Amino acid sequence: MFEVGDYIVYGNNGVCKVEAVGKLKAPGMPKDKLYYTLSPYNSKGSKIFTPVDNKRVVMRPIISKKEAIELIKDLKNIDLLAVSDENRIEEEYKEALRKCDCKELVKVIRTIANRKNSRLKEGKKITAGDEKYLQMAEEYLLEELSIPLEMDKEQVKELIVKEVGNF
């Protein structure tokens, strides 16, 4: 169980801070069920109420500072997504994002960067879908790394570029 003050990843809401753990005093709510009150890191003033035992949404602690540093050092060694069918690429991106895992986010970013470079060589632009999923994956990754590294997202991005260049 998470404690008040913990930062967690809560599904596609990204990083959230646990503000409270307890029973909700609202009409129609079970009196014996514990809930987390979460504040999304990206949406100041918003609140999410979710059962402590929620199994439908990924809830996990954010990575540690050590894990964040190791991930950044290993970025170039993380594989691309295995895309077997070009028509399923968007589904592959969605599935990777649903896992709420930093390495999966890096796979999406590296895969799209690779596709973008190939398209640019052919005189084409990045597709709108690739651009959308690239932005989402980068946002989720930078958001999670920023907390243990005690930096804002732009500083994390600069650190990554300094350490390994572009993905």
> Distance between CA 7 and CA 167 in Å, rounded?
26
Grade residue 45 by pLDDT with cuts at 50, 70 and 90. confident
Asked if residue 15 has pLDDT above 60, the reply is: yes
| pLDDT for residue 85 | 81
pLDDT in tens, 76-134: 999 999 887 888 999 999 999 999 999 999 999 999 999 999 999 999 999 999 999 99
Comparing CA positions, the residue from 67, 65, 30, 66 lying closest to residue 49 is 30
Structure tokens given for 4? 């008040």
| pLDDT for residue 82 | 87
Residues 48 and 21 sit within 8 Å (Cβ to Cβ) = no
Asked if residue 135 has pLDDT above 90, the reply is: yes
Comparing CA positions, the residue from 5, 9, 17 lying closest to residue 100 is 9
Grade residue 167 by pLDDT with cuts at 50, 70 and 90. low
Asked if residue 28 has pLDDT above 90, the reply is: no
> Distance between CA 8 and CA 15 in Å, rounded?
6
The pTM for the full model equals 0.90
Structure tokens given for 154? 């732009």
Who contacts 68 (Cβ-Cβ below 8 Å, separation ≥6)? 144, 145, 148, 149
Asked if residue 32 has pLDDT above 90, the reply is: no
Asked if residue 10 has pLDDT above 70, the reply is: yes
| pLDDT for residue 121 | 94
| pLDDT for residue 123 | 94
> Distance between CA 108 and CA 160 in Å, rounded?
16
Name the average pLDDT for the chain.
93
Q: What is the CA radius of gyration of the chain?
A: 18
Grade residue 166 by pLDDT with cuts at 50, 70 and 90. low
Angle, to 10 degrees, between the axis of helix 89-98 and the axis of helix 128-149? 20
pLDDT in tens, 64-73: 999 999 999 9
Q: Partners of 35 in the beta sheet?
A: 22, 51
Residues 13 and 48 sit within 8 Å (Cβ to Cβ) = yes
